[in-house]
Amino acid sequence: MEPDFKEGDQVLVSTLNFENLKGPKKMRDSFVGPFTIIKLVGKNAVEFKLTEEFSRKHPVFPVSLVKPYFQTEEGKFSSRKKILIPREIVEVEDSPGPVSKSSGPGRSDLMGRINDST
């Protein structure tokens, strides 16, 4: 079930079909915005005013690529209580020094075993 949108709503748009965004695809934002809905185009599409950065895009998107924008998490999760975790100061004793990496089989020992088996 798609959310009901109306003119003036703030929404985010999926970047699924955006080819001109910079950076690796995995690192890009999944949604951009917020944008304000100008008008509804039938039941399945919305038109909104795009910012300068996206001005070359067609301003009508299907509702499947649009989701409501919430100014803060308090708007989305109004009944959620804030949990304050008390901070505790912990003192750390000095360490005896760095751990030696020479204990155990080293690279030279392993290379000798590999060469002996051939």
Would you list the domain boundaries of the chain?
Answer: 10-71
pLDDT(107) > 60: no
pLDDT(40) > 70: yes
pLDDT(38) > 90: yes
Main-chain phi, psi angles of 109, to 5 degrees: -65, -40
pLDDT(14) > 60: yes
Percent of the chain with pLDDT over 90: 9
Q: What is the CATH number of domain 10-71?
A: 2.30.30
Decide: 34 and 50 in contact? Cβ < 8 Å: no
pLDDT digits (tens, 9 = 90+) for 43-86: 889 998 888 888 888 889 999 999 998 876 555 666 666 677 77
CA proximity to 31, closest of 41, 21, 40? 21
Q: What is the pLDDT of residue 113?
A: 57
pTM above 0.85, yes or no: no
Q: How confident is the model at residue 4 (pLDDT cuts 50, 70, 90)?
A: confident
Range 101-106 average pLDDT: 56
